[in-house]
Structures are given as C-alpha cells and as structure tokens.
Amino acid sequence: MNSAKGEDTMPSANDCCDMRIRPYQAACAICRIGAGEPPAQDRIAEIIAAVRADPDMPVMLVCNAGDVFAYQNPGTAEDTPEGPEYNRKRDMDILERMDLAPGSILPARILFRRLLAAVPTVAGICGYETLTGEAWQGCPRTNSGDYERGHEQGINALIAPRDAEEMAADKASSLEDMYGADEILSRPHIVVCAICQYATGTRPPYAPDNLPELLQMVLERDGDVNIKLVPGADWMMCGPCPSRLAETNACICGRISSGGLYNEMKDLNVLQALGLTYGTTMKAGDLYRLIFERIPTVDGVCALKKRDKPMVSLWRDGCGEGTFPGPYERGREMLMPRFGMTESSSDSA
C-alpha cells in the first residue's frame, strides 16, 4: 500500500519541458472535444492523447510574445493560416485570461482546468464581432459552438475521473489498514479537518475519506491511538478520495486541481502553529489537545488568509472563503470536553 512520500528529487529543466504547446492549441483541444473529436491525426489530436495518457505531465505554454519573453518564442511553424498577428494576439488573449506568463509550466490537469475556468467562450478570442481587416477574419469555427460544448462537458471529457468501484474498494482496504496499524499516517491539516467534519455532522461511513472513522476511533479509545504526521495524501486517510493520485500520494482537489499546492501550505501552517515537524508521532489525545490549545481558529492556518487572488489562482482555497468562527471553531468547542479540556484550561495551558 502507499504511504508517505519518498525523498524529494529535483527535476532538471529538460524534465519539466517535455511538452510545449501554444495556448490556442489548448483551446483547440477543448473545441475538438466539443465537436465530437473527428479522427484527424494532427497536433491537436496528439495533445489530447498525451494528456489522457499522462494527465499530470508538465506542460509549457509558449507563444511569440517577444520582448523580454523572447527566450521562449516557439516561432511560427505551428501558426494557423490566419496570419502571424492573429496567432500572437489569440495566444496572448488566452494567457491574459488565464493570468499566466509565456513560458509558464503547469501540470496538464491544472493547465486545462485553469483554461476552462478562465475561458468559457472563444468569442472575441478566436474570432471578432467586427471584421476590421483581412488579417483579422479569425478562425472559421469560432461561432460553431464546438468550444462552448467542450467547455460544458468539463475536465472529465478530457481526463477521466476515478472509477467509483475502485474508490469503494479502496475505502474498505484503506480502513482495514488503518484499523490494524500501530501508527496511523496522516497529513497534518486533515487531522484538523476532522474537527470541521464533526461539527457539520459528518459521521462514518463517509465515502470520500477516512477522517470520520479516524476521529471515531480516537474518541472510542480515549485518544490512545498513535498518529504520525506525514506529507501528501496518504493512503490511510485519503485512499478512497476522488482527488487522490495513488502513484504519488498527490492531491488534485480544488477548483483547478491545485489542492496539492495549497494543502502543502496548510500542512506547514499547522506544523508551525503546533511547533512540530513531519515525521512526528504522537498519541491522538495529546495531538488533539495541542491542536485545541494552539489553534483557537483556523483562519489563516488551514483556511488560508483571504487575499486578493484571481479566480484562477493556484492558491485560491475554498476553506479560506468562509466566515469565522465557523465549523472548526464549533467542532473545537464540541470536542474539547471529550479530551478533558475546557476553554479556560486551553487559555491557561
């Protein structure tokens, strides 16, 4: 079974740039899907096939931006026939809406989800309402509705979701491993998430993760459960999650699948607040008492601080969009007596 991540490795620049695509080609892939994917074997079909085969491969977005971004200019070999100015503007319009610079490298899954979030229609991007000159006639498929139909189908039309039967089997298997373990592996911030779930009435069985089962076991055993804090979406807690990649213990939750990034920040915030590090093993009772003492609110901890972020930001965290006090603070108040604590005892600790 999968457990904590292995040692970090530093990929080379070449490892990060195996696929370079033009921004317009990402949009064309969605358009092709909306059209029913005609069998043409071309660059767009190649991109679709590559993403389906490896949804999280790094992809670089390149365009003929020139100026200080000239280092990544791809040249005009993959321009469409409408002309160089149109091709440059179309690429830059898409990048501007995605809030990315030329040369940006992202996992394919995040790139395409960011595109879908930022570009609901190609009207005004691939074609224009007013024809101002021959060079600006645009793509003849702009008004076909193909892109918009592909957009409506969403990311699952490009990247298949996890199989429901597989997730159910993983639920049973990961719970079996959890119940039989001498120490239970969990990333730090989701130990805190269990408190939020408790406040909202989430109880076992719960299909997407094993947190309610963990908290129930901790309460039934009066905290006499060993928990080891580890990085990543570990098997014991996240085995059945629809947003977990089993091969790498990676998390792909969130609006644009960037949960692995902001969840790492949440983990580090929790570790810093508790004065702990990855690899720490504690009795669950001691760990939860420390959480209740050191984290009176999750605002700014595992609910990332509200700051001005575009809707397509990699750091946009749904938990940070809430109001406080919220579920965590209510759950903390509900659970403190179960761990022999009162608000006054936590204040004086």
Instruction: Return d(Cα 266, Cα 232) in angstroms, integer.
Output: 11
Domain boundaries, the chain: 15-157, 164-348
User: What is the per-residue pLDDT across 49-101, written as a single tens digit (0 to 9) for each?
Assistant: 999 999 999 999 999 999 999 999 999 999 999 999 999 999 999 999 999 99
Q: 217 near 225, Cβ under 8 Å?
A: yes
**Nearest to 227, CA basis, from 291, 284, 294, 293:** 284
Asked if residue 297 lies in contact with residue 329, where contact means CB atoms within 8 angstroms, the answer is yes
pTM score, whole prediction: 0.90
Confidence at residue 122, expressed as pLDDT on a 0 to 100 scale: 98
List, for residues 262-315, the tens digit of each pLDDT value.
Answer: 999 999 999 999 999 999 999 999 999 999 999 999 999 999 887 778 889 999
Give me the pLDDT at residue 3, please.
Answer: 44
**pLDDT, tens digit, for every residue of 223-252?**
999 999 999 999 999 999 999 998 899 999
Does 213 score more than 70 pLDDT? yes
Q: Where are the alpha helices (DSSP H) in the chain?
A: 23-34, 43-53, 84-98, 108-118, 146-153, 164-180, 188-199, 211-220, 235-238, 259-274, 284-294, 327-335, 343-348
Query: Cβ contacts of residue 324 below 8 Å, gap of 6+?
Result: 297, 298, 299, 303
Percent of the chain with pLDDT over 70: 93
Mean pLDDT of 189-194: 97
For residues 248 and 3, give the distance between their C-alpha atoms in angstroms, rounded to a whole number: 9
Tokens 């740039």 identify what position? 17
SS (HEC) of 24-39: HHHHHHHHHHHCCCCC
Per-residue pLDDT, 308: 78
H-helix or E-strand containing 58?
A: strand 58-61
Residue 194 reports pLDDT greater than 60: yes
Mean pLDDT of 21-33: 97
Q: What is the mean pLDDT of residues 151-155?
A: 97
Contact 198, 215 (CB under 8 A): yes
What whole-number distance in Å separates Cα of residue 191 and Cα of residue 2? Answer: 19
Quick one: what percent of the chain has pLDDT higher than 90?
85
- First-to-last alpha carbon distance for the chain, in angstroms, is 39
pLDDT at 130: 92
Please report which helix (H) or strand (E) contains residue 59, including its range: strand 58-61
Lowest mean pLDDT among 2-16, 58-72, 169-183: 2-16
| pLDDT at site 37 | 67
- Which pLDDT score, from 0 to 100, does residue 318 have? 85
Name the more confident of 5 and 336. 336
177 or 9: which carries more pLDDT confidence?
Answer: 177
Summarize the confidence of residues 196-209 as an average pLDDT. Answer: 96
Checking if the pLDDT of 119 tops 80, the result is yes
Residue 10 has a pLDDT of 46
Asked whether residue 158 carries a pLDDT value surpassing 90, the answer given is yes
pLDDT of residue 346: 62
Q: What is the mean pLDDT of residues 190-196?
A: 97
pLDDT at 4: 42
Amino acid 1: pLDDT: 45
